[in-house]
């Protein structure tokens, strides 16, 4: 009976393998001429070694030069077919909501298509986020046929290398620049310098030198989260009265609270985008994870104390930021600045970013998203220069400029009033 069953099954298995190989054989000769480096990348990949063929990800709709439009462009769901654990972990992290968070910004639609859906600007990094079927259909209507997946943001195609994604350079493309220069901070910190020395063979392979993944993806877990989130605001409010007042002002300028301090609809966007921790338990869970990671090299007491310095820096930066926001809010309240049609309230809106309607609000936006970010991110990433010169000191200079501009605007408004009366 077993022999008869084998006689039936073996031909079926052989035919399945033959079909897979034949499809690869059909694809490779043509694509070796048309896209040779794609072929060579695939040939050195683990996919190739494990007989994950072209049709496994791209389907079998494209077989000739004429029907190339029928090829399937992989999405994260395609990767989920084989990598279910990693996919489910990824869904729990903040990277998964990056696309939705970008789209939720109030003035994102003003950007040229090439920068957003075309992925040459914000979309180029936020592409890591999961996309709905409606998102994908909308992108394809706009002529965007690629970048639909999330996984290839770190495991670049067509090698899809795990080793590549484990290197800190895999994070470099996105975690740099204006509002999130974590790569720059890390690579010039002692952590980053030691790892570079390991890569160059100066330090031995067994030397301790953490990467981005060591701290933010311990054990290779794909749910990337941090205690403070991207914007370093959270709930519940701190017990310290001044800090609570300052954070309230910042939440008002983010549009999460209205000028009277009541929650707005934008709070739901913040929840969905995971840009802030909204319970003490959520915050503590991430902090405990980081302490555990740090204690692999340092004592627990040292790790707790160093992370608290980052918390303290957020408190100090929030005080400067709130003072600047109140100055600009005062201009709205006194009628010196007119409420834009796109604003829900006569109050500065930090999420309008570079589309802020006045120069003083542009100053406020830069102070928030560039200088405040560097002050606390530089502290957490153990980079003194970023924490001070590009962070705290720059915030002080921005505040001085905002004060001076506000005084000039008030003086001009007073002269105008005297002229007309």
Please tell me whether residues 267 and 344 are part of one structural domain: yes
Does residue 254 lie within any of the structural domains? yes
Please tell me whether residues 214 and 230 are part of one structural domain: no
Q: Does the pTM exceed 0.85?
A: yes
Structural domain including 187 reads 181-218
Please tell me whether residues 201 and 234 are part of one structural domain: no
Does residue 44 lie within any of the structural domains? no
pLDDT for 362: 96
Please tell me whether residues 141 and 205 are part of one structural domain: no
pLDDT in tens, 16-50: 444 444 445 589 999 999 999 999 999 999 999 99
Which of these three, 218, 241, 271, is where a domain ends? 218
Does residue 37 lie within any of the structural domains? no
Please tell me whether residues 253 and 359 are part of one structural domain: yes
Does residue 318 lie within any of the structural domains? yes
Does residue 408 lie within any of the structural domains? yes
Is residue 314 within 8 A of residue 232, CB to CB? The reply is: yes
pLDDT for 392: 98
Please tell me whether residues 108 and 237 are part of one structural domain: no
Please tell me whether residues 286 and 366 are part of one structural domain: yes
pLDDT in tens, 356-401: 999 999 999 999 999 999 999 999 999 999 999 999 999 999 999 9
Please tell me whether residues 259 and 314 are part of one structural domain: yes
Does residue 312 lie within any of the structural domains? yes
pLDDT above 90: percentage of residues in the chain: 83
Q: Report the number of distinct structural domains present in the chain.
A: 3
């Amino acid at each position: 009976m077993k022999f008869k069953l084998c006689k039936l099954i073996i031909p079926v298995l052989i035919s399945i393998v033959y079909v897979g190989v034949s499809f690869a054989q059909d694809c490779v000769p043509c694509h070796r001429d048309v896209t040779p480096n794609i072929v060579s990348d695939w040939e050195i990949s683990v996919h190739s070694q494990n007989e994950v063929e072209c049709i496994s990800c791209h389907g079998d709709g494209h077989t000739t030069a004429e029907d190339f439009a029928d090829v399937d462009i992989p999405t994260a769901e395609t990767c989920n077919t084989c990598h279910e654990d990693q996919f489910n972990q990824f869904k729990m992290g903040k990277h998964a909501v990056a696309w939705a968070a970008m789209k939720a910004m109030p003035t994102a639609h003003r950007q040229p298509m090439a920068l957003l859906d075309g992925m040459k600007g914000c979309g180029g990094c936020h592409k890591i986020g999961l996309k709905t079927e409606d998102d994908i259909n909308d992108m394809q209507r706009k002529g965007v046929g690629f970048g639909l997946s999330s996984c290839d943001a770190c495991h670049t195609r067509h090698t899809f290398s795990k080793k590549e994604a484990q290197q800190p350079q895999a994070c470099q493309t996105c975690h740099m620049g204006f509002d999130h220069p974590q790569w720059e901070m890390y690579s010039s910190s002692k952590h980053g310098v030691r790892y570079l020395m390991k890569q160059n063979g100066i330090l031995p392979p067994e030397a301790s030198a953490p990467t981005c993944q060591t701290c933010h993806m311990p054990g290779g877990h794909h749910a990337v989260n941090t205690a403070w989130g991207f914007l370093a605001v959270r709930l519940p409010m701190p017990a310290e009265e001044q800090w609570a007042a300052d954070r309230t002002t910042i939440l008002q300028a983010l549009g999460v609270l209205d000028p009277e301090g009541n929650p707005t609809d934008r709070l739901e966007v913040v929840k969905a985008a995971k840009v802030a921790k909204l319970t003490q338990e959520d915050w503590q869970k991430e902090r405990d994870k980081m302490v555990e990671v740090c204690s692999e090299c340092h004592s627990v007491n040292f790790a707790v104390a160093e992370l608290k310095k980052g918390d303290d820096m957020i408190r100090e930066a929030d005080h400067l930021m709130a003072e600047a926001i109140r100055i600009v809010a005062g201009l709205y309240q006194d009628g010196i600045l007119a409420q834009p049609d796109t604003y829900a309230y006569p109050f500065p809106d930090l999420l309008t970013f570079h589309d802020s309607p006045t120069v003083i609000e542009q100053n406020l936006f830069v102070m928030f998203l560039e200088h405040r970010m560097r002050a606390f991110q530089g502290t957490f990433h153990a980079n003194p220069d970023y924490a001070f010169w590009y962070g705290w000191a720059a915030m002080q200079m921005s505040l001085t400029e905002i004060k001076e501009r506000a005084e000039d605007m008030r003086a001009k408004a007073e002269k105008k009033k005297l002229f007309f009366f």
